[in-house]
Chain A
């Protein structure tokens, strides 16, 4: 039986798709058979972030409507052989996504995969609700910024009351906090919410902190999950988060600003 993980945030632009791509790739690299599903019907982007946009033939809506088989719509990753991507539809109406259809797909994927990641769209509309409905675990992606923290709190409430586990009064969805775009230098100057503040407000277990990093944009430019980027602090932080998710204990890194001398400031670039 596969473990279903939703990657969600409420707010847009905080790094859900970046996280979905990185986390799925990281899990697959440990040998876990992993599939990542784009739930953002009409505005798909996971295919671009994963670099498979030219290979999309069928999508989740084609499968739900019986126009293609699941295996035809799955795109097998060429870099990590235990990884697959199920793209969202770009042209169809959001209403085509149904609870029954999603359940059927998840059941079928459960037979072949160990982990199913659901990349949620922003907001709390149908796509976001369906992405979280069947989840066993949730990665809550949060930026150190007031509106993001508030929206994360809102989505936590939705998960706790409207997920299948909540409706069936089973043990609740296991929640993990993943803070992204964290800038320790700005935190030190008092310009950005501290990690401890976010943890205190949201009060869910911390899985990882991804520092603000230039490599995230570089990775998206080339269609590479950022976890595969060499010499990237974001990649290292995602690897730590994946290891913690799988039960390893690893200290949090990249929480302090880089101390650099005059020479490094003159000749070094910014955080990779």
Chain B
């Protein structure tokens, strides 16, 4: 980009800053988990097991979503429970 761009007035926001921020977030997470074991599959299995002790759970209806951020990440585990109608049908 030339210094004349300054006068052209169609400057797009610099994307390199976005690149740096994205890299810092993704690398900070990868460095932590590099040597550690991939715990998510086990966490999911354990959670479903615990919930299944109390209610009927369909393993196919479990959804795990993760949103990584700089300050905090959100791990959401959604377990769909069958309603009374579905249970009646099953029995």
Contacts and interface: CB of A to CB of B under 8 A. Distances in A.
A72 interface: yes
Contacts of B1: 269
A: contact size bracket = 20 to 34
B: contact size bracket = 20 to 34
Interface of B: 1-2, 4-5, 8, 12, 15-16, 18-19, 22, 25-26, 30, 33-34, 38, 40-41, 44, 60, 62-69
Contact of A58 (B19, B26, B64, B69): B64
A94 to B, nearest CB: 15
Given A218-B15, A221-B18, 5 more contacts: A53-B26, A57-B40, A68-B41, A69-B60, A223-B22
Contacts, number: 62
A54 B30 contact: no
B25 A54 contact: yes
Contacts of A223: 18, 22
B19 to A, nearest CB: 4
Contacts of A260: none
Contacts of B63: 72
Contacts of A1: none
B15 A221 contact: yes
8 contacts: A53-B26, A53-B68, A54-B68, A72-B64, A91-B38, A222-B18, A223-B22, A269-B2
Query: Lowest 8 CB-CB distances: which A-B pairs, in order?
Result: A67-B41, A221-B15, A221-B19, A54-B68, A57-B66, A218-B15, A53-B26, A222-B18
A121 to B, nearest CB: 18
A58 B40 CA distance: 8
Interface in A33-81: 48, 51, 53-58, 62, 67-69, 72
A266 B1 CA distance: 12
Nearest to A73: B64
B60 A55 contact: no
B16 A58 contact: no
Interface in A73-118: 90-92
Contacts of B15: 217-218, 221-222
B64 to A, nearest CB: 5
A155 B12 CA distance: 39
Nearest to A272: B12
Contacts of B67: 54-55
A93 to B, nearest CB: 12
B66 A220 contact: no
B38 A53 contact: no
